[in-house]
Amino acid sequence: MSEIAVFLEEKDIISSFEDAKYIKIFTKDKYVWKVKKVILISRISGEKGISQVRKEYQNLLPEMDNCKIIVVNKAFGIPYSVFYMEDFSVWELQGNPFDFLDEIIAKEIDEEENSEKEVEVAKKIGQGYYLVDLQELELINPEITSKKAIIPYLEKEEVKKIEVICCHVPPWLEDRKDKYNITLDIHEIKRNDYKVIIEKINN
């Protein structure tokens, strides 16, 4: 969590997704922030449909390497949804990025630590079987991330199965399958509506 990608206009001013000319990925080398990589944004000329706009930003994802934090001055629309679906942390800030980099990392670390703390959001629907509705949670408690909602139940020995209702499958779940020794059974109910069954593998 030591890399931050910033969408920039000329003179290295934080930009919106649409107005950005390039992206700089900053990394901290001991006590100093340095530019690790510059990504030039290639735009499709002329009128663009939704799928073309989405493709523009999806093409940027492999360029991000291990960076999962991005900064723009306004976050909305198709580009925001592209990065949100890939579990990026998106910050809205204005001005010189160097004014905010340390603060962003500090708050991200706090958020990661808080995600490990237990939050009672699941409904018990059977012995060792719980339901977490992330869609409902986003409306009632939007500050609670999917990690903060689900991880405490993965770590409870008595929990054997978790049913998750979500608009997209949290990418971090795939990354942590081995850590938590779980299987994922993913069902697409309809567009932007998924049911994920998480089951612990008995050793």
**Do 109 and 164 fall within a single domain?**
no
**Do 107 and 131 fall within a single domain?**
no
Reported as type and span, the H/E element at residue 53 is helix 50-58
pLDDT in tens, 169-201: 888 898 888 888 999 999 999 988 999 999 998
Structural domain span for residue 171: 123-200
pTM of this prediction?
0.64
Beta strands in the chain (DSSP E): 3-8, 22-29, 32-40, 69-72, 89-92, 123-126, 129-133, 161-166, 182-190, 193-200
| Mode of pairing for the β-strands spanning 182-190 and 193-200 | antiparallel
Of all residues in the chain, the percent with pLDDT exceeding 70 is 95
Number of domains within the chain: 2
Of the given ranges (14-28, 51-65, 77-91, 109-123), which has the lowest mean pLDDT? 109-123
Which residue, 86, 114, 142, sits at the end of a domain? Answer: 114
Is the pLDDT assigned to residue 142 strictly greater than 80? Answer: no
**Do 168 and 196 fall within a single domain?**
yes
pLDDT at 102: 93
Query: How many Cα atoms sit within 13 Å of 10 on the Cβ side?
Result: 0
pLDDT band for position 87 (cuts 50, 70, 90): confident
pLDDT at 1: 59
5 DSSP β-pair partners:
25, 70
Cα dihedral 71, 22, 87, 169 sign: positive
